[in-house]
Amino acid sequence: MNNIINLKSNEEWNILYKSNKKLAVYFTASWCRPCQIIAPLFEKLNSEFKEVYFIKIDVDEFENITQDMGVTCMPTFYFIFNEKIIKKMSGAHETELKKNILLLNEYLDNSSDSFSPEDKINYK
């Protein structure tokens, strides 16, 4: 099972964004009730779709990324591949989240390199 990546730095975001991987990016906040409701589904989908990197970004910790991505409400999800936004979704809509993850998963074949974001970042 893949682990959800809880974003730790701007550097990590830049590496992930430019990784040519399929990214399901979840902008959330600890105080956001709809975020808390949709979080278990995001975690479940993470275990089902191995080709997708699931990334969780706290909007209060990463205001610059939140603003750069144009996030205005929570939860907001971006589905990204090759630095291209395939789809954007706002709100805690379970059916739409499943549909967009499936769309991202089937979007073009992923390269077979062994890139791991954790390998590229020197955590202290």
The pLDDT score that the predictor gives to residue 119 is: 41
DSSP 110: P
Domain of residue 82 covers: 5-109
pLDDT tens track for 10-38: 999 999 999 989 999 999 999 999 999 99
Q: Domain tally for the chain?
A: 1
List, edge to edge, every strand of the sheet that includes 22-28. Answer: 5-6, 52-58, 22-28, 76-81, 84-90
Active site residue 73: no
Is there a catalytic annotation at residue 35?
yes
The whole-model pTM stands at 0.85
Select which of 23, 35, 71, 101 is catalytic: 35
Helix (H, G, I), strand (E, B) or coil at 20: coil
CATH number, position 54: 3.40.30.10
